[in-house]
Amino acid sequence: MDRMLVVIFPNERKSYEGKSALQQLDSEGSISLYAYAVLTKNADGTATLKQEDDVGPIGTLAGTALGSLIGVLGGPVGVAAGAAAGMAAGSAIDLSNTRVGADFIDDVQKFLLPPNVALVAEVDEEWTEPVDTRMEAIGGNVFRRALSEVADKMDDEDVAAMKADLAQLKAERVKAQADRKAKLDDTIDDLDSKIQAQLQRAKDRRDAARRKVQAKAQALKARADAIRSKAA
């Protein structure tokens, strides 16, 4: 099952131990680890995204549920880090992009306070014991939520509704007087921009989902190759 994991650790060093443990569980075949990041919440309310060499098999946080969740957890002031380039942050993110409920985010934010540090990861796990056992041994507090597909349906419905409005506005413009046409043109342009932005967000999510499927296939193939190699 595809899940979002947030593991709260007492310090940054422990969070990197947790990340290494997730990577080991992935290599053992206990989970599939798609993307991960370490997020710290600073005393002044800002947040910092900590990265090392990469963010997992997906390769980027932009457009992913994990990237959106990091932006939300970063708060209204956003996330400061080079690895966050191209990723919206804070209040600019539609909560539905995270694909987890607001209650899940509220639960995490209650614990994500200085000096605590969050290890955020998108994984596929069949059972919870492997992750829980490793994280608890390191001192981590695990939060998890299955990823919802509701956002995709909402995108389709929102775009369809906006396109219906756009068609009506264009029909009105044909019959409108010159002064009214100018006002309608502004409204039409604004609505069209919103439609394009919504379509782009949906595309980003679909691209991220495709990368995740490819990453999972590659991970399964690598494990199968390793098993065959050991058996030979």
Assess contact for 142 and 129: CB atoms under 8 A.
no
pLDDT of residue 91: 39
For residue 102, pLDDT over 70 is answered with: yes
What span, in angstroms and rounded, lies between the C-alpha atoms of 191 and 162? 7
Helices 65-74 and 102-111: crossing angle, nearest 10°?
Answer: 50
Beta bridge partners of 123: 3, 33
- Considering only 6-10, 56-60, 142-146, 180-184, which range has the smallest mean pLDDT? 56-60
For residue 228, pLDDT over 80 is answered with: no
pTM to 2 decimal places: 0.65
- Considering only 81-90, 127-136, 143-152, which range has the smallest mean pLDDT? 81-90
Instruction: Sketch the domain layout of the chain as residue ranges.
Output: 2-148, 149-232
Mean pLDDT of 70-92: 50
- Phi/psi for 56 (5° steps) reads 105, 180
Three-state secondary structure string covering 166-218: HHHHHHHHHHCCHHHHHHHHHHHHHHHHHHHHHHHHHHHHHHHHHHHHHHHHH
Confidence of residue 78 (pLDDT cuts 50, 70, 90): very low
Average of per-residue pLDDT values in the chain = 78
Confidence of residue 11 (pLDDT cuts 50, 70, 90): very high
| Per-residue CA distances from 142 to 18, 40, 66, 130, 158 (Å) | 11, 16, 16, 12, 34
For residue 154, pLDDT over 70 is answered with: no
For residue 81, pLDDT over 50 is answered with: no
| Close Cβ partners of 27 (under 8 Å, ≥ 6 residues apart) | none
- Considering only 29-38, 92-101, 136-145, 157-166, which range has the smallest mean pLDDT? 92-101
Beta bridge partners of 141: 8
pLDDT of residue 97: 67
pLDDT of residue 141: 93
- Considering only 144-148, 159-163, 188-192, which range has the smallest mean pLDDT? 144-148
Confidence of residue 158 (pLDDT cuts 50, 70, 90): confident
For residue 184, pLDDT over 70 is answered with: yes
For residue 183, pLDDT over 70 is answered with: yes
Provide the strand spans (E) within the chain: 2-9, 31-41, 47-50, 79-80, 117-125, 141-146
